[in-house]
Amino acid sequence: GESVGLHLPTLSVQEGDNSIINCAYSNSASDYFIWYKQESGKGPQFIIDIRSNMDKRQGQRVTVLLNKTVKHLSLQIAATQPGDSAVYFCAESSMTTDSWGKLQFGAGTQVVVTP
């Protein structure tokens, strides 16, 4: 994998506002995408996933949008709360058996929620 530097992109959001986190993916064969949330010193936690036959999926306070034409994924968090402060990663994988489960992760975005 390629390193993308030591400084994560940071999104600063005021409490109560909506957050939008973006992710560009490179493999046009990828057909499954996941968003993870990682708090400091902990393992990533699953937020929401989407398959390539969909362009939108909603969860509790979160929505993932997939644009396969431009290979772009976004995560929208509604009414952002202090507990949403974390690093958010997108991950992609493809359906071929030998690649199955090989999640490729993006570099991550640091979300900081301010009061």
Partner 1 sequence: DGGITQSPKYLFRKEGQNVTLSCEQNLNHDAMYWYRQDPGQGLRLIYYSQIVNDFQKGDIAEGYSVSREKKESFPLTVTSAQKNPTAFYLCASSPFNRGHTEAFFGQGTRLTVV
Residue span 58-87 as binding mask against partner 1, x where in contact by CB under 8 A, dash where not: ------------------------------
d(CA 6, CA 2): 12
**Does the footprint of partner 1 cover residue 101 (CB under 8 A)?**
yes
Asked if 44 interacts with partner 1 (CB under 8 A), we say: yes
Judged by CB under 8 A, the residue of 11, 31, 61, 63 near partner 1 is 31
Told to check if 49 binds partner 1 by CB under 8 A, we report yes
- Tokens, residue 84: 């949403």
115's CB contacts (< 8 A; 6+ apart) are 14, 15, 82
Among 62, 65, 78, 107, binds partner 1 (CB under 8 A): 107
For residue 38, give the amino acid letter. Answer: Q
Q: How many CA atoms lie within 13 A of 28 on its CB side?
A: 2
- Chain-centroid distance of CA 60 in Å reads 15
- Catalog residues that contact partner 1 under the rule CB under 8 A: 1, 3-8, 31-32, 34, 36, 41-46, 49, 51, 89, 91, 93, 95, 98, 100-108
